[in-house]
Amino acid sequence: MRKIFYVLLVIILACTLIFSGCGSSSSSSKISSTTTPPSQKDSTTANKKLKLGFNNFLKGFYSLDILEKSFKATADALNVDTMITNDEGKVEQSVQNVQNMISSGVDGIVFFGISDTLFPVVSQKCREAKIPFVIYDHIPSDKSMEILQQNPYFVGVVGEHDYDAGYPIGEYAANQGLKKAIVVTGKNTDTTHSARVKGFTDSFTKAGGRVLDVGWGNTTLADALSQTDDLLTAHPDVDCIYATGGDFGSGALQALQKHPNVKAKVFVTDLDPDILTGLKAGTITAANGAHWVNVDFATILIVNYLNNHPLRDSGNKAPVVTVPVLTLPNNQVSLYQKFWLDNEPFSVTELRNLTVPWNPNVTLNEVKSVISNYSIKSRLEEKQKEGLVTSDELKKAGIIN
């Protein structure tokens, strides 16, 4: 895995340069600020094979690669061609890749933004090019959303609130009687990790615990190992470690091995293969994640839009849809591996049933209903209906009695 240490160090400078470059453009002033979806560029869009652009912020980083994998599977299920780019961990490359996708003639863009400041920049570029775009994984701030909703080519956003990933972990840890925690996390300028830290801290302290220290600035497993080692040396009485990402959790586990006298339980957000192994072995007490299906539904939104069937929210606005962050107990690890990592949690039939032309009358409420009911239990029960898992397997996993 390549290091991404420099990624967020360049955000402020890069975005400043980006904004200065875009500020002189006058073409956006010629476009109406109405939120009503514009007519499609080509009235035959619904009858041609679509091509979607997609940016992976850094190939080789597991939690980003699984989003790409899920996007590709959904696009294949919906008979859509793809153009997948690699931002190489660079903010300025994110914007350049959007321009590259526009220049290549994609019909729409499925966009991931590492920084909230990117959303208005990308919105302006898509608006000038009259290219529809949808945002996945990260939900923009209220300020950015105000700007996005003024763009008639903004299709919507599907993501999760990272605060809601950290909060239940802190609550769960406190309910186990744990009192002293350290947190191992990414850059404090990364809204994903800062929100997870805040969520954990709020719930853990509310229940009477204390966060003794937060290790910011990690980007790799090696970083997390080194920093957790230092934190455990400084706080040998700690009884709880929360890692806000899979690699950070793996690093924390390795660091614990160097401190046999520390009896701390480990909690992680992100369900990558190494974390699943730790859950199964009992070295990780609890983990949550599985919210990366957000990209499936972001793709559904834009495919419907490009087939002249935009799914709009109240007030004719582009929807903001939140995907639950799931908690995985260790007795369900094997089934999770099988149906989330080795395969896709949603079948081709299910994805098509939420998309024109397979369901010409699909509504936003139908899409939201599927997302709101998304859970380990509901997905495995669906796999049972499909004949892919047995009742005995579900009983063993505690899904059914």
Q: Retrieve residue 149's tokens.
A: 């909703």
Q: What is the largest CA-CA distance in the chain?
A: 69
189-219: b or e for each residue (b if 16 or more CB lie within 10 Å)?
bbbbbbbbbebbbbbbeebebebbbbbbbbb
Band of the pLDDT at 124, cuts 50, 70, 90? very high
Distances (CA, A) of 21 to 14, 47, 140: 11, 37, 22
How far apart are alpha carbons 61 and 4 in whole angstroms? 9
Band of the pLDDT at 22, cuts 50, 70, 90? very low
How far apart are alpha carbons 75 and 92 in whole angstroms? 26
How far apart are alpha carbons 229 and 72 in whole angstroms? 38
Band of the pLDDT at 63, cuts 50, 70, 90? confident
Q: What is the pLDDT of residues 220-263, one digit of tens each?
A: 899 999 999 999 999 999 999 999 999 999 999 999 999 999 99
pLDDT in the model for residue 340: 96
Q: CB atoms < 10 A from the CB of 146, how many?
A: 11
How far apart are alpha carbons 123 and 379 in whole angstroms? 34
Residues 75/67, Cβ–Cβ less than 8 Å: no
Strands 210-215 and 154-160: unpaired
**Residue 321, amino acid:** V
How far apart are alpha carbons 23 and 364 in whole angstroms? 35
Give counts: helices (H), strands (E), the chain: 16, 12
Q: Residue 184: in which H helix or E strand, if any?
A: strand 180-184
pLDDT in the model for residue 327: 86
Compute the mean pLDDT over every residue in the chain, rounded to the nearest whole number: 88
pLDDT in the model for residue 104: 97
How far apart are alpha carbons 287 and 268 in whole angstroms? 5
pLDDT at 3 over 70: no
Please state the rounded mean pLDDT for residues 290-310.
Answer: 97
pLDDT in the model for residue 129: 98
How far apart are alpha carbons 172 and 286 in whole angstroms? 9
pTM of the model: 0.82
Residue among 320, 315, 326 nearest 367 (CA): 320
Q: 3-state class of 17 per DSSP?
A: helix
| Percent residues over pLDDT 70 in the chain | 88
Band of the pLDDT at 123, cuts 50, 70, 90? very high
Phi-psi bin for 44: left (phi > 0), alpha (psi -120 to 50), beta? alpha
- Tokens 């908690």 appear where? 327
Q: What is the pLDDT of residues 319-377, one digit of tens each?
A: 999 999 998 888 899 999 999 999 999 999 999 999 999 999 999 999 999 999 999 99
Residues 174/203, Cβ–Cβ less than 8 Å: yes
Q: Check whether the bond before 329 is cis (ω within 30° of 0).
A: no
| Residue with more model confidence, 331 or 70 | 70
pLDDT in the model for residue 125: 98
Please state the rounded mean pLDDT for residues 179-204.
Answer: 94
Band of the pLDDT at 38, cuts 50, 70, 90? low
Band of the pLDDT at 179, cuts 50, 70, 90? very high
Q: What is the pLDDT of residues 308-322, one digit of tens each?
A: 999 999 889 999 999
Please state the rounded mean pLDDT for residues 7-17.
Answer: 37
How far apart are alpha carbons 357 and 375 in whole angstroms? 27
Cα torsion 176, 178, 179, 184: sign: negative
